[in-house]
Amino acid sequence: MKKIILLIAVLITSINYAQVEDALVFLEAKDPAVVSAALANPITILTQEAIDRKQAHNTPIDARDVPLNETQKAQINAATGITVLAKSKWLNAVYVRGNQNNINSLLNLPFVIDIEFADKSLNRTTSGRQFTNDKFEVENESQSRVIYNYGTATNQTEMIAADYLHENDFIGDNITVAFMDNGYPGVLTNPAYANLRNEGRLLGYYDFAARVENPNGNGSHGAVTFSDAAGFLDGQFVGTAPGASYYLYITEDSDESPAEEAYWVEALERADSLGVYVTNTSLGYQDFDNPAFDHTYQDLDGQTTIAARGANAAFDKGMINVTSAGNDGYPGSFGYVATPGDAPGSFTIGSVNSSGDPSGFSSYGPTVDGRIKPDVVAQGTNAAVVDQYGNVTTSNGTSFSSPIIAGAVASLWSAVPNLSNEVITQAIRESASRYNNPTDKMGYGIPNFEEALDALLLLSVEEQLQDTQFALYPNPVSSFINISFPKNADSAEFSMFNVLGEKILQTNITNLRNSIDVSGLPSGMYICSITSNNKTTSYKIIKK
């Protein structure tokens, strides 16, 4: 009799489990009047820090920044059998849980325009199953408890020349970083973060899964990854961005489901609205508790998953999203970089050992559409970390190579805050050891932040000159000379002289009328002058 009861219980559990589905529910376009009002007064939807960052990098503030319709979200949450777990203003969607019929019934709501089930068989044909793994398996292996001196922590810093940034006082000042992970127990007492707390640089924390303002979460993984960027123990350990400010977000739930991707996107949106420059994600998603939700390699094209779409939107909004490649590189494992590391909008980090050789566990590329991933690598084998109790130890995983790079990115960006996320990330790639010969395991290789800084400082000076000076192009010229205007000028007088000093052309130019036809002039050298705001600048032009 007991066996029969157990069998019935198992059957009921299986039936109920099969009925539970997750889905993205997409809403109609946001009300144009609401959008117009918000964009006319963006401080109502973004902090001043976020507005300043976007303006500094010419990042547009648009309808995606406007919150989704909370009334519509509430109606969905009130629908029979439906629970709203997360929301995304960028995707204009809510992530829900319920049975298939109840979710499909949401299409009867006039403002629901589409539904995308996490179980891909309900949307389109999908392929085989990968077994669910503990995403923290490598990191949770037994760890050394030996107290390391600063020299051990220095290897992972010197490998990427982040120490050069620190020596030049670029330590992440005035750069805000957000971490997304499973929990940060001890962060309010850990001595490694005493400076952070005392200087008011721990700006806040939030658990998006539990919907509470608490840093503890449901694990200590985040407490350890955080140390590689923010930790500081005098004489023992220094993270790669010891002067940055931080938000800590929990996006992991007790279950493995795409809801975690939705929480993660929501955290990205919060980060963007608060003016965050850099995010670190030592997480990846490929297989779930419900096998119907799994991502196949074909899904990892950088555009399909919830997380990839969020990462791309976040990069478009001006942030650099540093993401671990994953620990599936061993034979027999999934192998490839998981999402959101597959996204073009993620700056994806693989792992090497202390000698710079690829770590066996590090997930590899390319993406299914042939893009290089990971982007770069850093030390993730025996990486120095500070645990939740303040002990300096070591751990393994791309979970640690990622924040090592994230902190270095923050320190680098603090040197050239006027440059955009796209320019910063490309400079880091070009500084890397394998930029001209990338591999599936190492991407573009080990970056050199000294070289990246030198390149960016030169570029920053050039951009500042462009802000204050006129520029003529092309040179040499065949037909038309184009003139780019600095920020402080709307009009100017343009003159052109031959080598004898004779004026052969004079005209007024503006931002809109800034092209001069010289096709009729003989080949040779000419002197041009531009006068604006009582200042005259001369240029040498070669006519072909």
pLDDT digits (tens, 9 = 90+) for 361-400: 999 999 999 999 999 999 999 999 999 999 999 999 999 9
Q: What's the rounded Cα separation, in Å, for the pair 66 and 69?
A: 9
Q: Is the pLDDT of residue 218 over 60?
A: yes
Domain of 403, CATH number, reads: 3.40.50.200
Do the domain assignments include residue 138?
no
Which pLDDT tens digit goes with each residue over 260-275?
999 999 999 999 999 9
Check residue 124 and give its pLDDT.
53
Q: Is the pLDDT of residue 149 over 50?
A: no
Which pLDDT tens digit goes with each residue over 21-52?
999 999 999 999 999 999 999 999 999 999 99
Residue 133's pLDDT band (cuts 50, 70, 90): low
**Amino acid letter for position 125:** T
- Give how far the C-alpha of residue 381 lies from the chain's centroid of Cα atoms, to the nearest Å: 23
Q: What's the rounded Cα separation, in Å, for the pair 320 and 449?
A: 16
Do the domain assignments include residue 136?
no
The answer on 502 and 430 residing in a single domain is no
Query: Mean pLDDT across the chain, nearest whole number?
Result: 89
Do the domain assignments include residue 197?
yes
Give the domain extent around 371: 150-463
Check residue 501 and give its pLDDT.
85
Q: At which of 122, 139, 172 does a domain end?
A: 122
Residue 135's pLDDT band (cuts 50, 70, 90): low
Domain of 530, CATH number, reads: 2.60.40.10
Q: Mean pLDDT lowest for which of 16-20, 209-213, 242-246, 285-289?
A: 16-20
Do the domain assignments include residue 143?
no
Check residue 162 and give its pLDDT.
94
The answer on 21 and 58 residing in a single domain is yes
The answer on 342 and 249 residing in a single domain is yes
Sign of CA dihedral 349, 352, 356, 357: negative
Q: What's the rounded Cα separation, in Å, for the pair 352 and 333?
A: 18
| Residue 245 β-bridge partners | 176
Whether pTM exceeds 0.85 = no
The answer on 499 and 448 residing in a single domain is no
Q: At which of 102, 122, 142 does a domain end?
A: 122
Check residue 216 and give its pLDDT.
96
The answer on 409 and 309 residing in a single domain is yes
The answer on 417 and 308 residing in a single domain is yes
Q: Is the pLDDT of residue 150 over 60?
A: no
**What share of the chain in percent tops pLDDT 90?**
73
Q: At which of 438, 463, 488 does a domain end?
A: 463
The answer on 196 and 172 residing in a single domain is yes
The answer on 313 and 234 residing in a single domain is yes
Q: Which residues fall within 8 angstroms of residue 356, CB to CB, at 6 or more apart?
A: 159, 433, 446
Mean pLDDT of 318-342: 96
User: Comparing C-alpha atoms, which of 522, 488, 487, 491 is closest to residue 505?
Assistant: 522
Do the domain assignments include residue 98?
yes
Do the domain assignments include residue 127?
no
The answer on 426 and 342 residing in a single domain is yes
Burial class for 33, CB neighbours closer than 10 Å (0-12, 13-18, 19+): exposed
Which pLDDT tens digit goes with each residue over 159-192?
999 999 998 889 999 999 999 999 999 999 999 9
Do the domain assignments include residue 397?
yes
The answer on 303 and 228 residing in a single domain is yes
- The total number of structural domains that make up the chain: 3
Q: What's the rounded Cα separation, in Å, for the pair 189 and 181?
A: 19
Do the domain assignments include residue 26?
yes
The answer on 437 and 506 residing in a single domain is no
The answer on 381 and 233 residing in a single domain is yes
Do the beta carbons of residue 230 and residue 239 sit within 8 Å?
yes
- Helix, strand, coil shares, percent, the chain, to 5: 35, 25, 45
Domain of 43, CATH number, reads: 3.30.70.920
Residue 4's pLDDT band (cuts 50, 70, 90): very low
Residue 156's pLDDT band (cuts 50, 70, 90): very high
